Structure 1
Amino acid sequence: MTAVPEALDLARLQFAFTVSFHIVFPAVSIGLASFIAVLEGLWLKTRQPHYLDLCRFWSKAFAVCFGMGVVSGVVMAYQFGTNWSGFSSFAGAVTGPLLTYEVMTAFFLEAGFLGIMLFGWNRVSERAHFAATLCVAVGTLISTFWILASNSWMQTPQGVEIVDGRVVVLSWWDVIFNPSFPYRLAHMSIAAFVVAALVVAGTGAWHLLRGRRDPAVKTMFSMAMWLLLIFAPLQAFVGDLHGLNTREYQPAKLAAIEGLWETKTGGTPLNLFGWPDMAAETTRYALEVPHLGSLILTHRWDGEIRGLKEFPKDERPNVPLVFWSFRVMVGLGLAMIAAALAAVWLRRRGALFTSRRFARVMLILSPTGFVALLAGWVTTEAGRQPWVVYGVMRTAHAMSPVSAQQVQVSLLVLVLAYCLVFGTGIYYLLKWLRVGPALPGGGPSTRAGSRHASPHPHVAAHAAPALSGLSGRMDTDSAHAS
């Protein structure tokens, strides 16, 4: 049964809204979990107290993001039964087990050791606590593996056959390791590290601008910039490989990304900018670079790329949306690479921690990781349309028999609930990041109770102004325990 267009559009909008809220929290959690594990490892190796302060400080931020990610993920999953029962009935034999594997291997690992990571200080041995932190970090990566396996199968399905209108699995190996899975797994994992690096860098920049130059602030800012220097260029390399894979398995998506309508022989130009006109089947005001499209997308001077006119009109995605979301992602990625290179130059001059201009730039750039992440997700998912399982099942056939009014009501309820719940969570998170890690010898995440604590009262006195800026935070005992 084909869905009513109005109900279909609203259901897609609702899913886009919930997944946009959801994806940012796991992305931060994945990056922060590994960052916290590195910090704890450095503390165990060096016994430098600022590593412990950073570990505890970012553990609280991780806990908030992890909690909001779990809640938003549950709400998103409910929609498979409410709005997308057609998809669940058709492809449940694939998506159901994969999501079950994610819960049993990743979520149980994360949830099982999260309590020890947050509240196990001085209750278990140092090695046991570090092992728990590593388990949480590994669990986030395992979760990424299974979620991307499921979503990648929807992009490049294989290993199944359709029997009586339902998917039957022939090979789980082929289902999981489908053609786009390795590239999309690497792309998403690196994106999570980039997002976390920018959050850490932005927090460090905020405190540098406020005059803090203590080891904790300088360390987290320095580590974040090193991470950005490694992962931002690596993301560009993986993105190139992903583009080659998309050209082979999803050529209509690639044509939409490039705003390319005609298949040109002898070399394809690259449309840097323009406005794709789907009605006129042309990209207006296009700024073209001859042969660059062929070089980037085929690695050959005269490589051929199929144009959108080779595909039926009802099998083309929303070209302007895909075209511009891709350019937002790439443009921000280039800005991140430039910032990482600028950090190297400032580091060599000894001005990384004293340049207020660069600190302001990093503070402005800190949320762009989320924007680039969402833009990339829009490119991927909108570019797959009108298919929910590419080339196999149309999105219109995946919807439940619900009315537009029913979807409107549920969408309104979700918008209000999300603004209240996640707005509160984000507000608390930002307040906590503004406070920052502990000052030497004391502060908001003081090491009181630690067997390695060495408080200095005269330094702790300077932490009072910072403490006064945090309203409604945890009580002292809870803060120390976590």
Structure 2
Amino acid sequence: MLNIDVLSLARVQFAFTVSFHIIFPALSIGLASFIAVLEGLWLKTGRQVYKELCLYWSNIFAIAFGMGVVSGLVMAYEFGTNWSGFALYAGSVTGPLLAYEVMTAFFLEAGFLGIMLFGWTRVGPRAHFAATVLVAVGTIVSMFWILASNSWMQTPQGIAIVDHRVVPVDWWKIVFNPSFPYRLVHMALAAFIVGALVVAATGAWHLLHGRRDAAVKTMFSMGLELLVVLAPLQILAGDAHGLNTRQYQPAKIAAIEGLWDTEHGGTALNVFGLPDMKAETTRYRIAIPHLGSLILTHTWNGEIRGLRSFPPADRPNSTLVFWTFRVMAGLGVLMAVMALCALVLRLRGRLFDAVRFHRFVLIMGPSGFVSLLAGWITTEAGRQPWVVYGLMRTADAVALVTAQQVGATLFAFVVVYTLVFGTGIYYMLRLMRTGPAVIAPTPGPSARSECVARARRSTERGRTLRASDSSL
């Protein structure tokens, strides 16, 4: 570790902490909206199964929310300890945006979370539902401000540079920068998909272990219903995001595609390959002619700039982002396939009896987190070597600290995060394994009639026995 420079260590440390952090807000965003839907269905229908599922998933949401808050605080401190150059340069933009997130989203979540978790017997049903909805809205508002800050770093606008520092000029342009709408939709859908996959996989686990009660069937069915809608929408959102990235960050697109030369008359899609940054080539490439043009320009002969058209110092690491993007995209395709299979099985009436499909859903449970992390790495590593794209290089953002200092704190983070958040994850998995309480089915008209008939037969037998006893 001592042979690694400060910049690399600081980047590894931030990548480690943000990777731990992002999975918890993504899960809490997805679960908060799911819980609000469950409580709304309970108020509308009166079915006890919806309330039971609401209580069950609220426990898991509370753990994810708490760990998300704690892990997020660490990153705020890292801006000052490891990235003071960035804080001095762009703090006038990122600081207020993060403050808006605290003053709106965090206060909204913190203010109503207690009512959501502990107010079932202390407030009325409608007031409790309002609190649950406000917590769900708070998670989305939090995502709004965080992505506004990150998107501005990717596509900065609405500023002036005075004395080598950023000065805000137009906050509307800063917040609603060119890439923000695409990133917001893409991330929101990703969070909902993460939640839907976890819910469906938990249901699949209990179906595979023999449970067939209403709670298990309901959450399994609802999770897959969400995926049927969300998976195709995410593919469309990803396509629009890719077109936007090609316009504002063409070097990132070239690195993702492992494309070194601009191919005139139509660009092939490299399905497989090993990009070599030193040799400036993609080895063992398997390419499909014109498919790159169709996907990235929506035309047959569209041209995409190759990496050689950019200075070597401005090129992202194609070896990394080439594969992280394909992991994300490949898992997205599998999610769409799973959603299609669920739809077919539902139409055939076999959704709760297809054991092989249940295993598939269980295996796909963590895929939302893997895809989320792969996409985040693609986004962040793909904008390198810039921390504020086109304005400030990452090397200029690092603080004046030593490699030993950053290395020591990195080691401490690895140990503490593994213990603390590992324990939290283990506890969430235990709750998922335990499952919701079994809801006793309410007897229907035929069942009640049968009970009455049994009671009458039992009474008649009792009378007969008493008559026999008296005759003896």
**Residue aligning to 2:172:** 173
Show the 5 A alignment for 1:249-288.
249-288=248-287
1:98 and 2:101 equivalent?
no
Shift of residue 364 of structure 1? 0.4
What's 2:464 paired with? Answer: none
Measure how far apart 1:307 and its partner are. 0.3
- Give the CA deviation at 1:5: 6.6
Equivalent residue for 1:359? 358
Q: Distance in 1 between matches of 2:423 and 2:291?
A: 47
CA–CA distance in structure 1, aligned partners of residues 54 and 117 of structure 2:
10
- Cα offsets for 1:122-155 (capped at 9, x unmatched): 1000000000000000000000100000000000
Structure 2 SS opposite 1:437 = coil
Q: Find the counterpart in structure 2 of residue 480 from structure 1.
A: none
Provide the C-alpha distance between the structure 2 equivalents of 1:421 and 1:441, rounded to a whole number of angstroms: 37
**1:142-180 Cα distance to aligned partner (Å, 9 max, x none):** 001000000000000000011011100010000000000
What residue is the counterpart of 1:420 in the other structure? 419
Distance in 2 between residues matched to 1:132 and 1:431, nearest whole Å:
27
Name the residue aligned to 1:129.
Answer: 128
Deviation of residue 268 (structure 1)? 0.4
Aligned to 2:70: 71
- SS of structure 1 residue aligned to 2:351: coil
Task: Determine whether 1:146 maps to 2:129.
Answer: no
Match of 1:51 in 2: 50
The change in CA–CA distance for 1:224 and 1:62 in structure 2 (over 3 A counts) is: same
1:378 has 2:368 as partner: no
| 1:5-404 → structure 2 map (5 Å cutoff) | 6-404=5-403
Which stretch has the larger CA shift, 279-288 or 132-141? 279-288
SS in 2 for 1:213: coil
Distance in 1 of aligned mates of 2:275 and 2:352 = 44
For the residue of structure 1 that corresponds to 2:260, the secondary structure is: coil
Distance 1:156 1:288 in 2: 30
Question: Could you tell me how far apart the structure 1 residues matched to 2:407 and 2:279 are?
Answer: 33
Runs of 4+ with >4 A deviation: none
* 1:264, distance to aligned residue in structure 2 (A): 1.2
2:439 and 2:93 map into 1 onto residues whose CA distance is 52
SS for the counterpart of 2:429 is helix
SS at match of 1:288: strand
1:341 deviates by: 0.2
Following the alignment from structure 2 to structure 1, what is the Cα–Cα distance between the partners of residues 261 and 8? 29
Corresponding letter in the other structure for 1:418: Y
Q: Quick one: distance in 2 between partners of 1:211 and 1:282?
A: 53
Taking only the aligned residue pairs, the percentage that are identical comes to: 70
CA distance in 2 between partners of 1:162 and 1:441 (Å): 66
CA deviation string 1:173-222 (max 9, x = no partner): 00000000000000000000000000001100000011111111101000
**C-alpha distance in 1, partners of 2:349/2:296?**
40
What is the distance in 1 between the residues matched to 2:264 and 2:44? 59
Q: How far apart, in 2, do the equivalents of 1:246 and 1:254 lie?
A: 7
The offset of 1:369, in angstroms, is: 0.4
Q: Gaps (5+ residues) in structure 2?
A: 443-472
Give, as a single letter, the amino acid of the residue that structure 2 aligns with 1:396.
A
Q: TM-score when scaled to structure 1?
A: 0.90
2-structure distance, mates of 1:79, 1:32: 28
- TM-aligned CA deviation for residue 356 of structure 1: 1.0
| Cα distance between partner residues in 2 of 1:435 and 1:205 | 13
What residue in structure 1 maps to residue 449 of structure 2?
Answer: none
Q: How far 1:351 sits from its partner (Å)?
A: 1.0
Per the TM alignment, residue 88 of structure 1 is displaced from its structure 2 partner at its CA by: 0.4
Kindly name which structure, 1 or 2, has the bigger radius of gyration based on alpha carbons.
Answer: 2
Q: CA deviation at 1:312?
A: 0.5
Distance between the aligned counterparts of 1:419 and 1:23, measured in 2?
15
Q: Secondary structure at the match of 2:160?
A: strand
Q: Map Cα deviations across residues 70-123 of structure 1 (whole Å, 9 max, x no partner).
A: 000001111001000000000000000000000000000001000000000110
Q: Secondary structure at the match of 1:267?
A: coil
SS of the residue 1:216 aligns to: helix
SS in 2 for 1:283: strand
* Paired AA for residue 319 in structure 2: P
Letter in 2 for 1:184: R
CA–CA distance in structure 1, aligned partners of residues 440 and 65 of structure 2: 29
Report the Cα offset of residue 441 of structure 1.
4.4
Cα deviation, residue 311, structure 1: 0.4
**Cα deviation code 1:223-277 (max 9, x no counterpart):** 1001011111100100000010011100000000000000111100000010001
* Matched position secondary structure for 2:5: helix
In the alignment, the residues of structure 1 paired with residue 429 and residue 75 of structure 2 have an alpha-carbon distance, to the nearest angstrom, of: 24
What amino acid sits opposite 1:23 in the alignment?
I
Q: In the alignment, what sits opposite 1:458?
A: none
Write the letter of the residue equivalent to 2:358: A
AA in 2 matched with 1:109: L
Structure 2 counterpart of 1:113, one-letter code: F
Letter in 1 for 2:116: M
Q: State the distance in 2 between where 1:44 and 1:265 align.
A: 60
Which position in structure 2 is the counterpart of 1:468? none
Quote the RMSD (CA, aligned, Å). Answer: 1.1
In structure 2, how many angstroms separate the alpha carbons of the residues matched to 1:9 and 1:204? 42
SS in 1 for 2:185: helix
Q: How many Å separate the matches in 1 of 2:227 and 2:18?
A: 25
Q: Give the CA deviation at 1:440.
A: 1.3
- Determine the structure 2 residue equivalent to 1:465: none
User: Residue 175 and residue 5 in structure 1: after superposition, are their counterparts in 2 closer, same or farther (change >3 A)?
Assistant: farther
